[in-house]
């Protein structure tokens, strides 16, 4: 790790020298000596960056190369840095959801912050880019949750419909969707796309290239999860309770949470009698609404019909 720090120190000095020479050349474009010195400094800068990546590979450090790019001629550093900070939070929240469980809000515990903290090593030109590394004492080095987190985030970034977003919310919780929305929002507001490459040693563990237009559509898809999304599902379970007057039902499922909700008029009546407790196959209308800002996922179930199913009833 000391080698990485040494190279990083040299990079900082070289980056500062390149900036000074670029400013000098703008002020004195006719001075050939300045141009020659700038070419030498840029060459050294490129060499040091390559040495940094090689050194990181030798010690097995996780390296994240994040390039925030735009399709206009210039972008301010502030929007790009805001998007990178949002990505750090998204990474931490998704990792925490996968390792420690469903998260209602986009909060990060001290433990998860320690495991997923990315350290800025150097910046590079070509829009706005940074190289981040995970600390060598972080638990995620031997943790399969890292690969799962990267795969999940990169799939989330390519989501196009509210249904896809809601599937991630079911798995991770509204907190992860809130963090995803903030990252998409920061990119959209800054007119930015993201080019991300994550590697450990010489192995690339994940890549993502997503354009500004895609992130804008992603944000819109998340916003649309606030409207009710309906789908018809079929579940097997034991009908445990029925309230005929208020038309309510409860079905117990093996190894899964109970389902309770309203009953369609005519689904259970004198013509369509139900026995309690008994195993049924239930046709149910599931309505999901995600309130991202509030960190809530509201799910309602409406029983459409029952048919007897095989299996034990008690």
Q: What distances in angstroms separate CA 272 from CA 243, 285, 313, one per listed residue? A: 14, 18, 18
- pLDDT at residue 194 in the model: 94
Q: Is the peptide bond before 76 cis (omega within 30 degrees of 0)?
A: no
**pLDDT tens digits along 104-143:** 889 999 999 988 888 877 776 655 677 777 654 555 544 6
CB 44 within 8 A of CB 50: no
In angstroms, the first-to-last Cα distance of the chain is 61
Confidence (pLDDT) at 236: 94
**Given strand 203-210, what is the order of strands in its sheet?**
118-125, 128-134, 62-69, 193-200, 203-210
List Cα–Cα distances, 22 to 29, 70, 74, in angstroms.
10, 22, 16
Residue 50 pLDDT > 50:
yes
* Residue pLDDT, tens place only, 167-210: 999 999 999 999 999 999 999 999 999 999 988 767 788 899 99
Query: What mean pLDDT is predicted for residues 207-230?
Result: 93
Interstrand relation of 203-210 and 62-69 (parallel, antiparallel or unpaired): unpaired
pLDDT band at 314 (very low <50, low <70, confident <90, very high): very low
Query: What secondary structure letter does DSSP report for 141?
Result: G
CB atoms within 10 A of CB 10: 16
pLDDT of residue 92 exceeding 50, the answer is yes
The per-residue pLDDT for range 133-175, each reduced to its tens digit, is 765 455 554 467 888 999 999 999 999 999 999 999 999 999 9
SS3 131: strand
Residue for token pair 């004198």: 270
């Amino acid at each position: 790790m000391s080698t990485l720090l040494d190279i990083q120190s040299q990079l900082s000095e070289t980056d500062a020298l390149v900036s000074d020479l670029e400013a000098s050349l703008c002020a004195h474009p006719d001075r050939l000596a300045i141009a020659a010195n700038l070419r030498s400094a840029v060459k050294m800068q490129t060499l040091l960056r390559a040495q940094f990546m090689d050194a990181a590979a030798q010690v097995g450090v996780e390296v994240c190369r994040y390039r925030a790019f735009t399709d206009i001629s210039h972008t301010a550093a502030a929007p790009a840095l805001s998007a990178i900070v949002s990505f750090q939070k998204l990474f931490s929240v998704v990792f925490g959801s996968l390792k420690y469980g469903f998260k209602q809000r986009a909060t990060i515990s001290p433990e998860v912050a320690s495991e997923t903290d990315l350290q800025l090593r150097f910046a590079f030109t070509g829009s706005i880019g940074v190289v981040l590394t995970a600390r060598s004492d972080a638990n995620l080095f031997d943790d399969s949750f890292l690969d799962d987190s990267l795969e999940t985030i990169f799939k989330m970034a390519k989501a196009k419909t509210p249904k896809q977003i809601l599937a991630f919310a079911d798995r991770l919780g509204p907190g992860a969707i809130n963090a995803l929305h903030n990252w998409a929002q920061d990119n959209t507001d800054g007119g930015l796309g993201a080019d991300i490459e994550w590697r450990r040693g010489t192995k690339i563990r994940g890549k993502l290239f997503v354009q500004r237009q895609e992130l804008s559509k992603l944000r819109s898809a998340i916003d649309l999860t606030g409207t009710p999304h309906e789908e018809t599902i079929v579940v097997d379970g034991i009908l445990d309770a029925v309230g005929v007057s208020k038309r309510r039902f409860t079905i117990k499922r093996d190894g899964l949470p109970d389902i309770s909700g309203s009953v369609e008029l005519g689904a259970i009546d004198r013509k369509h009698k139900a026995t309690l407790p008994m195993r049924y196959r239930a046709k149910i209308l599931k309505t999901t609404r995600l309130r991202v800002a509030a960190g809530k996922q509201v799910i309602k179930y409406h029983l459409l019909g029952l048919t007897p199913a095989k299996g034990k009833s008690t």
